[in-house]
Chains A and B, each alone.
Chain A
Amino acid sequence: AQTVTQSQPEMSVQEAETVTLSCTYDTSENNYYLFWYKQPPSRQMILVIRQEAYKQQNATENRFSVNFQKAAKSFSLKISDSQLGDTAMYFCAFQGYAGKSTFGDGTTLTVKP
């Protein structure tokens, strides 16, 4: 069974600074997807960024980028130029061949003005 571990329950960052959220996972599969989802307070979860395991190039989406280390089974999220609207809970998720997504326990990120 796949497991996803987020070792930082809470983090904070000053507005306009950069922060990195960590995620490790365990799997015996070779082809899979990795995701970072954002869950703002009392709002629905949305996708931040997606990485396909067969792609060596790290995914980027505007201020969001990942550092995907397949051999180390590590998938960190970097948020540049942090904004107040980035305050949310962030979940790392793994989806393998079977199509089921497994989530970590999340990191609560607070962006301070």
Chain B
Amino acid sequence: DAGVTQSPTHLIKTRGQQVTLRCSPKSGHDTVSWYQQALGQGPQFIFQYYEEEERQRGNFPDRFSGHQFPNYSSELNVNALLLGDSALYLCASSLIGGDNTGELFFGEGSRLTVL
């Protein structure tokens, strides 16, 4: 049973560039959430996708956008990168509906460094 996979694992960008991060959810899951985790801090909710729609959004600017595909995989895009965007980006999958236990299943994350 494949867990949550994310790519790339590490990447370095410069200020002003754009980045795309990718996530495949755990088999059988239909919902993908993205989190930003700065060093030494807890994950901050960016947004959640379900049925290819953004279901909820945290307090992040419009430079952060996403997409969910029919196979439930998801992308996180960040435009006009700032130094403060340097962080570990976590993807988490879950189920909405009768079998939902609330548990999030996390990938290993994509570590973004902005220079």
A45 touches B42 (CB 8 A): no
* Given A44-B106, A44-B108, A50-B101, CB of A100 within 8 Å of CB of B42: no
* Interface range, B side: 20 to 34
**Closest-CB distance, A90 to chain B (whole angstroms):** 10
Q: Which of B42, B44, B90 has the most CB of A within 10 A?
A: B42
Q: Encode A71-113 as 1/0 by CB contact (under 8 A) with B.
A: 0000000000000000000010101001111111110000000
Q: Encode B12-33 as 1/0 by CB contact (under 8 A) with A.
A: 0000000000000000000101
Q: Which residue of A lies closest to B55 (CB)?
A: A99
A99 touches B42 (CB 8 A): no
- Judge if A35 is at the interface, Cβ distance under 8 Å: yes
Q: Given the complex of chains A and B, what is the CA–CA distance between A104 and B43 in angstroms?
A: 8
Task: Enumerate chain A residues within 8 angstroms of B94, measured Cβ to Cβ.
Answer: 99
A45 touches B101 (CB 8 A): no
- Judge if A43 is at the interface, Cβ distance under 8 Å: yes
Q: Encode A29-50 as 1/0 by CB contact (under 8 A) with B.
A: 0000101010000011111001
A91 touches B42 (CB 8 A): yes
Q: Given the complex of chains A and B, what is the CA–CA distance between A47 and B104 in angstroms?
A: 8
B106 touches A106 (CB 8 A): no
**Closest-CB distance, A67 to chain B (whole angstroms):** 19
**Closest-CB distance, A43 to chain B (whole angstroms):** 7
Q: Encode B29-47 as 1/0 by CB contact (under 8 A) with A.
A: 0010101000011111100
Q: Given the complex of chains A and B, what is the CA–CA distance between A4 and B110 in angstroms?
A: 24
Which residues on B are within 8 Å of A, measured CB to CB?
A: 4, 31, 33, 35, 40-45, 48, 55-56, 58, 90, 92, 94, 96, 100-104, 106-109
Which residues on A are within 8 Å of B, measured CB to CB?
A: 4, 6, 33, 35, 37, 43-47, 50, 91, 93, 95, 98-106
Name 10 A/B residue pairs within 8 A (Cβ), A-sorted.
A33-B101, A44-B106, A44-B107, A44-B108, A98-B56, A99-B48, A99-B55, A103-B42, A103-B44, A105-B42
